[in-house]
Amino acid sequence: MKKPTYYTTRRKFVKRISQGAGAGLFLPASMGVLGSACSSNQQSSETVTESTEAPAKKDRLGLALVGLGNYSKGQLAPALEQTEKCYLAGIVTGTPAKAEEWKQKYNIPDGNIYNYDNYDELVNNDDIDIIYVVLPNSMHAEYTIRAAKAGKHVMCEKPMAISVDECQQMIDACNQNNVQLAVGYRLHYEPFNQEVIRLGQEQVFGPLTGIDNAFGFTIGDPTQWRLDYERAGGGALMDVGIYTIQAACYTSGEEPVSVVAEEFKTDMEKFSEVDETINFTLTFPSGLKANCQTSYNKNYNKLRGEAENGWFELSPAYTYGPLAGETSEGPMDFPQISEQAVHMDRFAECIMQNEMIKTTGEMGMRDMKIIEAIYQSIEQGSQEVPIDL
């Protein structure tokens, strides 16, 4: 039997792509974004290679973090010490002092340390299979596209980009270069949120009659990139409101058809460029409505589903844990896990098994379309805006 492409060396893989022989490794962009499991790749048999070299099979894939800020340092690097299918193989940073610190702490070889200028040379590095983009939002598209061109699979942080156009370019680049693209939606493999998916989508308490969810926090430093429109692309909605969009979709198993949104601002100076607080209501094809709130000036963190015969609620719902949940029948009891470790492992496993992760680029683009409709509704004085997915 011929081997799937991930067994081959990276340089050969990219060379083959440039010769046009690698097309169609992963499922097409048209695949739905609400699929409940990794899907087998129907096209894989057409994309095997003719290598005569002994394949270097990997038990774990090498992952490089791009951007060593708070999330990388506080969550992803520690999670990569728990992962079983991937490991921290490299870093990309513009700060030499950080490179030195991470090199010592995580035993990263010099040859796997890159900066933003020599980033494209990753094409020659067979240790690194996955690039994880953890940069300010406006940089996601560029660094995802460059990673794809270097033949690397990409995990990109949320929000996937700052416009639908950018999301499409990222998806195209990954498809053209035959690599898989995931968005850092870490809750899809988290037990409490998975239970909400089961309760909602399987209608355990009967059909849903409403969803209420809210995610907000009080943002600090007024000089940070999150408050700079050019680098963030938007405010609370782009940053944490996106979780409420996600939750409304995965709880209901539906995708919204329209939205009505309203913005509130109390600090005109701090939030002169980006949104502070937004309330919006998504309407789904079944008629179900999800009321969502997001803010950079209020602390809330809740997901509640009301159904005909009961209810369920997570609070907190979206943080790194510990999460907590309850239903009309009593408290939920699930293990607390590293959401990031499970998500990265699942991605690596999907790549190794030539399957598609649930948290696709298409899902990231869907959410960006919803976000653009929310901003449009605000601009139009809270008119109902159709969402064309």
Beta strands in 79-190 (DSSP E): 86-92, 113-114, 130-133, 153-156, 181-183
Between β-strands 277-283 and 289-295, what pairing exists: parallel, antiparallel or unpaired? antiparallel
6 versus 71: smaller Cβ distance to ligand NAD: 71
225 versus 229: smaller Cβ distance to ligand NAD: 225
Planar angle of CA 150, 171, 244, nearest 5 degrees = 125
Smallest distance, ligand NAD to C-beta of residue 159, A: 7
289 versus 343: smaller Cβ distance to ligand NAD: 343
Q: Which of 182, 154, 241 is nearest to 33 (CA)?
A: 182
Planar angle of CA 124, 157, 65, nearest 5 degrees = 35
136 versus 256: smaller Cβ distance to ligand NAD: 136
226 versus 304: smaller Cβ distance to ligand NAD: 226
The first and second tokens of residue 269, run together, are 């100076």
71 versus 205: smaller Cβ distance to ligand NAD: 71
Binding site for ligand NAD (CB under 6 A): 67-72, 94, 134-137, 157-158, 184, 186, 225, 231, 239
69 versus 78: smaller Cβ distance to ligand NAD: 69
Smallest distance, ligand NAD to C-beta of residue 155, A: 10
289 versus 366: smaller Cβ distance to ligand NAD: 366
Report whether 359 contacts 188 (CB < 8 A): yes
Smallest distance, ligand NAD to C-beta of residue 306, A: 27
Smallest distance, ligand NAD to C-beta of residue 232, A: 8
207-210: long-range contacts (C-beta < 8 A, 24 or more apart)? 207/286, 207/307, 207/308, 208/251, 208/252, 208/288, 208/305, 208/306, 208/307, 209/288, 209/306, 209/307, 209/308, 210/288, 210/289, 210/290, 210/291, 210/305, 210/306
The full DSSP string for 325-366 is EEETTEE-------HHHHHHHHHHHHHHTTEE-SSBHHHHHH
Smallest distance, ligand NAD to C-beta of residue 303, A: 15
Report whether 183 contacts 212 (CB < 8 A): no
What DSSP character marks residue 55? Answer: P
Smallest distance, ligand NAD to C-beta of residue 130, A: 16
Smallest distance, ligand NAD to C-beta of residue 328, A: 29
Q: Which of 341, 348, 305, 346 is nearest to 321 (CA)?
A: 341
Number of helical H runs and strand E runs in the chain: 12, 17
Smallest distance, ligand NAD to C-beta of residue 243, A: 8
Q: What are phi and psi of 171, to 5 degrees?
A: -65, -45
43 versus 299: smaller Cβ distance to ligand NAD: 299
190 versus 254: smaller Cβ distance to ligand NAD: 190
Give whole-number Cα distances, 125 to 109, 111, 117, 141, 280, in Å.
12, 8, 15, 21, 45
The first and second tokens of residue 351, run together, are 């790549």
Smallest distance, ligand NAD to C-beta of residue 1, A: 38
Smallest distance, ligand NAD to C-beta of residue 108, A: 16
